[in-house]
Amino acid sequence: MPIAIALHGGAGTLRRSEMDAAAEQAYRAGLARALEAGHAVLRAGGSALDAVCASVCALEDDPLFNAGRGSVYTLDGKQEMEAAVMDGSRQDAGSVTGLGCVQNPVLLARAVMERSPHVTLGFAAAEDFARREGLDMRPPEYFHTDKRWQALLLEKERLASGGKDEDIPEDRKHG
């Protein structure tokens, strides 16, 4: 059987003219690391589920991407992360939402799928489950990036001067 993997790190208004060479190199390196993390699992005979979790963890740990460590801010200056996993062989699924302190939300989604009777857990209940499962928890500072914070300040300024929620610039929306 062939093995295959694909991943994304976000989409939007990504123009070559608006990104400097160093930033572009960093993004490409982050994508390459995440791809290798998952593909290595597959080459070693590991499961597709292990592979996608490995790739997504690599992206969650990279502050360049809007997930985990690089998450954007809500209107009230907090972070609310979400994640989901699905095992196609059993059509089993798990997801989590409203997380503020779980290092790798994707691993919590997997725990919900494999070790709870539910499909989705949210907010305090999800974080309580993460603690019971012994997942790595982090303080808010771990998830802070200046770039995301500045994006929030700019957006709040735009909204305060009469801007509409739906008109948020693409490059600011997803960090």
Span 125-144, contacts to other proteins by CB under 8 A: none
Phi, psi of 116 (to 5 degrees): -135, 160
Contact between 46 and other proteins by CB under 8 A: the answer reads yes
Q: DSSP string covering 114-135, please?
A: HHSS-SEEEHHHHHHHHHHHT-
Contact between 82 and other proteins by CB under 8 A: the answer reads yes
Q: How many CB atoms lie within 10 A of CB 112?
A: 25
Span 47-66, contacts to other proteins by CB under 8 A: 47-49, 51-53, 55-56, 59-60, 65-66
- CA 105, chain centre distance (Å): 7
Q: Report the sign of the C-alpha dihedral through residues 155, 158, 160, 163, in that order.
A: negative
Enclosing H/E stretch for 142: helix 140-143
DSSP-derived letter for residue 151 is H
Q: How far is the CB of 138 from other proteins (least distance, A)?
A: 14
One residue of 26, 101, 116, 119 binding other proteins per CB under 8 A: 119
By CB under 8 A, the count of residues binding other proteins is 89
Contact between 14 and other proteins by CB under 8 A: the answer reads yes
One residue of 85, 111, 130, 135 binding other proteins per CB under 8 A: 85
Q: How far is the CB of 132 from other proteins (least distance, A)?
A: 19
- For residues 168 and 155, is the Cβ–Cβ distance under 8 A? yes
Contact between 151 and other proteins by CB under 8 A: the answer reads yes
One residue of 86, 116, 133, 138 binding other proteins per CB under 8 A: 86
Q: How far is the CB of 79 from other proteins (least distance, A)?
A: 6
